[in-house]
């Protein structure tokens, strides 16, 4: 089947710390991979994406590389800010793209 597993939170970091949120997937086809971010009281926003193996998605200092050999798409940022506090969702979309599969979300708290 198709599924996404991401590390449970909450993750609490100090400002300027390095962030990694792990995400692994299983898929029957050739998925595209996404990271979405949800700020308190808001909907999900696309953070970054990668459509094929070895692609690197990046945005706002966040990066993730599509690793087919390890079926992973880990989210990283070199120096987090308080404003990065949010819930992060890893997701996959299949080629037919009528369905997306989301991880359970990882809450990030960044302290000043």
Partner 1 sequence: NAGVTQTPKFQVLKTGQSMTLQCAQDMNHNSMYWYRQDPGMGLRLIYYSASEGTTDKGEVPNGYNVSRLNKREFSLRLESAAPSQTSVYFCASRYSRSTTGELFFGEGSRLTVL
Q: Does 11 bind partner 1 (CB under 8 A)?
A: no
Instruction: Compute the half-sphere exposure of residue 94: CA atoms within 13 Å on the CB side of its CA.
Output: 13
Stretch that binds partner 1, among 16-24, 58-66, 75-83, 100-108 (CB under 8 A): 100-108
Q: Does 51 bind partner 1 (CB under 8 A)?
A: yes
d(CA 112, CA 109): 10
# binding residues, partner 1 (CB under 8 A): 22
Name the residue nearer to partner 1 (CB basis): 49 or 74. Answer: 49
Instruction: Compute the half-sphere exposure of residue 20: CA atoms within 13 Å on the CB side of its CA.
Output: 7
Q: Does 32 bind partner 1 (CB under 8 A)?
A: yes
* Cβ 112 to partner 1 shortest distance, Å: 26
CB 31 within 8 A of CB 93: yes
Question: Tokens 């595209």 map to which residue?
Answer: 32
CA nearest neighbour of 6 among 20, 22, 18: 22
Please select the residue that binds partner 1; options are 16, 30, 46, 83, rule is CB under 8 A.
46
Q: What is the DSSP letter of 98?
A: S
Please select the residue that binds partner 1; options are 27, 49, 66, 74, rule is CB under 8 A.
49
Q: Which residues bind partner 1 (CB under 8 A)?
A: 32, 34, 36, 41-46, 49, 51, 89, 91, 93, 97-100, 102-105
């Amino acid at each position: 089947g198709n599924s996404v597993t991401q590390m449970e939170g909450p993750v609490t970091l100090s400002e300027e710390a390095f962030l990694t949120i792990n995400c692994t997937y299983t898929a029957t086809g050739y998925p595209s991979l996404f990271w979405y971010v949800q700020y308190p009281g808001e909907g999900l926003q696309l953070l970054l994406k990668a459509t094929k193996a070895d692609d690197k998605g990046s945005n706002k200092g966040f990066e993730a590389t599509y690793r087919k050999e390890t079926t992973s798409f880990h989210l990283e940022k070199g120096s987090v800010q308080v404003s990065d506090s949010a819930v992060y969702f890893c997701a996959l979309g299949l080629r037919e793209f009528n369905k997306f599969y989301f991880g359970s979300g990882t809450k990030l708290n960044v302290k000043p």
